[in-house]
Chain A
Amino acid sequence: MTQQLLLYPLLFQLFLSILLMFFWTKIETQKVISIVGSCIAVFLSALLFYEVWNFGTQTVQAANWEAPYGITFVADTLSATLVLLTSIAGLAVSLYSSASVIPARLRFGYFSIYHFLLLGLTGAFLTGDIFNLYVWFEIIIISSFVLITLGGEKAQIEGAVKYFTLNILASIIFLTAIAVLYGLAGSLNMADLAVLVPQLENRRLVEVAAILFLVGFGIKSAVFPLYFWLPASYHTPPSAVAAIFGGLLTKVGVYALIRIFSLIFLKDVFLDEILMVIAVLTLFSGAIGSLVQRNVRKAFSYLIICHIGFMIGGLAMFTKVALTGMVFYLIHDIMVKTNLFMISGLIYRIKGTNNMKYLGDLYDKFPKLSFLMFIPFLSLIGVPPFSGFWPKISLILATLEQKNYILLGAIIFGSLLTLIIIARLWSEVFWKKGEELPVRKHFLYYQKMTNLKKVQFIAPIIMLTGVSLYIGFGAEHIQQLSSRIASELFDNTSYIEAVMPQNK
C-alpha cells in the first residue's frame, strides 16, 4: 500500500484526463472536475513528498521485475519535490484556465489534454528508466502540441511549426543517444547505467552519447545555441498555456540534464567545460534578448532562457554548494515563471494588449493589483528577503570557491539585467501615462467580468505569490531541502542502492 503511493500522483492525473473526456461538451463540469482533481493531486503529491522526506527514496518495480530488467519508478527527494511543485503549479493554472481560456478553446478538450500534460511531467520526474523517460517526454510534447495549436489562430500556428519541429528533432536526438548508450552498456535502467558506464573502455563513444543527450535536452530546456524556438512560440498560445509551459516544460529538460549528468556521465572535464560555456552564454543571450523586447510576454520568454543559465551553471560547477543553489533556484523558478505568465495574461485582460508601447498607468487605476504583481517581480529579481536572492548566494559562493570568475560575472550580469528589464517593464506598464486604446469588440475585459471570474483570475496569482513568499521568508526550510537534494545528487550511491538493493 505505502509502496504504491509513488504511483498515485501519476495514475490520478491519468484518471482525471480520462474522466474529463466523458464530459467533452460540458465545459462547466470540466472546470469543476479539473480544479477539484488538481486539489486532490496536490494532496497526493504532498503525501508522497512527506513519505520521501521521512523514509528516504521510494521505488516501485513495475510488475515486480527486479531493477535492471523491469521499468523502475523512483522518487528521491528531487523527484518528490518536483512532483509537488508540478501539482501546485497545475492547480494554479487549472484555476486560472477556468477563467481565462475562452469557451471556444475549452470545448475541444482543453482540460483533458492539460491533465495529460501534467501526467507526462509527473511521469518524467518519477521514472528511473531512460527509455521510459523518452516515452514521458513524448507524452509531454504531444499534449503541448495540442495545447499550443488549440484555437488555430495564425500566429499560434506559425509559432507551433517552430516549436513542433525543434521538439521532435530533440526527441530524435534523445532517441539516438539512448541507442548509442544501449549499444555501449546494454542497459536502460538509470541506476544500472550509473554502475556500468564508468567501467566502459570506449570513453570517446561515451562522450559522444553524452553530447547527444546534452543536445537533445538542451533543445528542450532552451540553452544557448538551441533556444530560438522558445521566444518564437511561447507568446502565441493563451496565457494559461504559456504559464504551464514557461513554468514547467523547460524545467523538465533541466531536470533530465541534472539526472543524466549527476548519475551517468560523471567527472568528465570536457563535459563540465562545455556546460560552463553554455551556462555563461545562455545567461548573456537571454538577458540581452529580453532587453530589446517590447512585448511583455516575449520579454518574459527571454527571461526564462536567461534564468536557465543559473541552473546549468550550478550543474557545471558540480560542488555541493553549487548544487544546493541550483536546486533552490529550480524550486523558485518554477513558481515564479508560472506566476509571471499568469500576470501577463491579467495585464492583457485589463488593457487588451501586451505591447509595452500601448500599456500604461496600471498603477494609477489598479493599485492593489499592481502591488500583488510587484511581489513576484521582486522575487524574480532576487531582492534580498525574496525567493530569488537565496539561491544566488549559494551559486556565487560556489563560483568563488572554484575561482570561476567568468561564471561569477555572468551570474551578476544576468541578475543585474533582470533588474533593469523589470524596472523598465514597471515604469512602462505601471507608471507611464498610457494611451487611450480603442475598445475591442467581443473581448472580455477584466473590468467587465463577474466577481467569481475575477476571483478565479486573481486567486492563482495570490496562491503562487504566497508560495514564492514562503520560499523567500522560509528560506531556511528550502535551503535544508535543497542541501539534502544536493547531497543525494552529489553522491549517487544512495540512488543506486535504493533502486538495486542487491548491489550493496
Chain B
Amino acid sequence: MEFLLAIITGLLYAAGLYMMLRRSLVKLIIGLIIISNGANLLIFLLGRITKGHPPIIPKGSEVFTEIYADPVPQALILTAIVISFGLQSFAIILIKRAYQAVKTDDLDEMNTIEEDIR
C-alpha cells in the first residue's frame, strides 16, 4: 500500500509540474490542482498508514494498548483540501476573466504590462 501510494504521489507531482510548464492557462490551473492533490497524498503517506486501528480508546481501558492510526495527518489534509478548493475556484474564475481581458490563453502573450494604472 505504501509503495503504491508513494508511486502515485510521485506521479502526481511530476504530472502537475509538467502541466504547469505548459503555455496554456487552463493547463496551468490543472497542473496546480494535480500538484496540490499530490501534496495532500504525501501528508497522508508520511503520517504512517495504519490499517484497522482507529484512535479510539477501547472500553474499560484508560490508555491505548496497541498501535493506532495517527489522526493528525487526516485533519491536516482536510484543512488543506478545503483551502485548495477555495483557491482553485478562485483560479478558475481568474482564468475566465483573464481570457476575457486579454483574449488569449497563451501565457507567452500575457506580457503587455507596460501601461500605467493607479
Residue ranges of A at the interface with B (Cβ–Cβ < 8 Å): 100-102, 131, 134-135, 138, 141-142, 145, 149, 152-162, 164-165, 168-169, 171-172, 175-176, 178-180, 182-183, 186, 188, 232, 235-239, 295, 345, 348, 353-355
A141 to B45, CA, bound (A): 27
Pair B90/A142 contact, Cβ less than 8 Å: yes
Main secondary structure of the interface of B (DSSP, over half): helix
Cα distance A1–B20 in the bound complex, in angstroms: 49
**Are A295 and B116 CB-contacts (below 8 A) given A157-B102, A172-B35?**
yes
Contacts beyond the supplied A153-B117, A164-B94, A182-B76: 4 A-B pairs with Cβ under 8 Å: A172-B39, A182-B43, A183-B47, A238-B117
**Cβ-defined contact, A165 with B20, below 8 A:** yes
Give chain B residues whose Cβ lies under 8 Å from the Cβ of A152: 97, 101
Q: Do residues A158 and B102 form an inter-chain contact, with CB atoms below 8 A?
A: yes
Count the B residues whose beta carbon is within 8 Å of the partner chain — how many?
Answer: 40
Smallest Cβ-Cβ distance to A187: which chain B residue: B72
Chain B residues within 8 Å of A, Cβ to Cβ: 20, 25, 28, 32, 35-36, 39, 42-43, 45-48, 70, 72-73, 76, 79-80, 83, 86-87, 90-91, 94-95, 97-98, 101-102, 107, 110-118
Q: A141 — nearest CB in chain B belongs to which residue?
A: B87
Q: Is the CB of A154 within 8 A of B94?
A: no
> In the complex, are the beta carbons of B32 and A169 less than 8 A apart?
yes
Quote the shortest CB–CB distance from B36 to chain A (angstroms).
Answer: 5
CA distance A164 to B97 in the complex (A): 14
B118 engages A238 (CB within 8 Å):
yes
**Once the chains are docked, how many angstroms separate the CA of A265 from the CA of B113?**
40
Q: Are B113 and A236 in contact (CB under 8 A)?
A: yes
The CA-CA distance from A353 to B72 in the complex, in Å, is 53
- Which residues of the partner chain B approach A236 to less than 8 Å between Cβ atoms? 113, 117
Establish whether residues B115 and A157, one from each chain, have CB atoms under 8 Å apart when the complex forms: no
Q: Within the complex, what minimum Cβ distance (angstroms) separates B25 from chain A?
A: 7
CA A160 – CA B91 in complex, angstroms?
Answer: 10
CB pair B39–A176 under 8 Å, yes or no, is yes
B8 to chain A, nearest CB (A): 14
Contact of B98 among A131, A134, A161, A354 (CB under 8 A): A161
A131-B79, A135-B83 are known contacts. Are A158 and B118 too (CB-CB below 8 A)? no
Interface centre among B28, B46, B70 (most CB of A within 10 A): B46
Q: How far is the CA of A141 from the CA of B39 in the complex (A)?
A: 18
Query: What B residues does A238 contact at CB under 8 A?
Result: 117-118
Report how far A168 CA is from B85 CA in the complex, Å.
12
Q: Say yes or no: B112 contacts A157, CB within 8 Å.
A: no
Q: Could you tell me the distance between the alpha carbons of A238 and B117 in the complex, rounded to whole angstroms?
A: 7
Contact of B47 (CB < 8 Å), options: A145, A182, A295: A182
Contacts of A134 in B (CB 8 A): 80
A127–B116 Cα distance when bound, in Å, is: 38
Please give, as numbers and ranges, the residues of chain B lying within 8 Å of A154 by CB-CB distance: 101-102, 112
Looking at the assembled complex, report how far the CB atom of B104 sits from the nearest CB atom of chain A, in whole angstroms.
10
**Once the chains bind, are B83 and A182 in contact (CB under 8 Å)?**
no
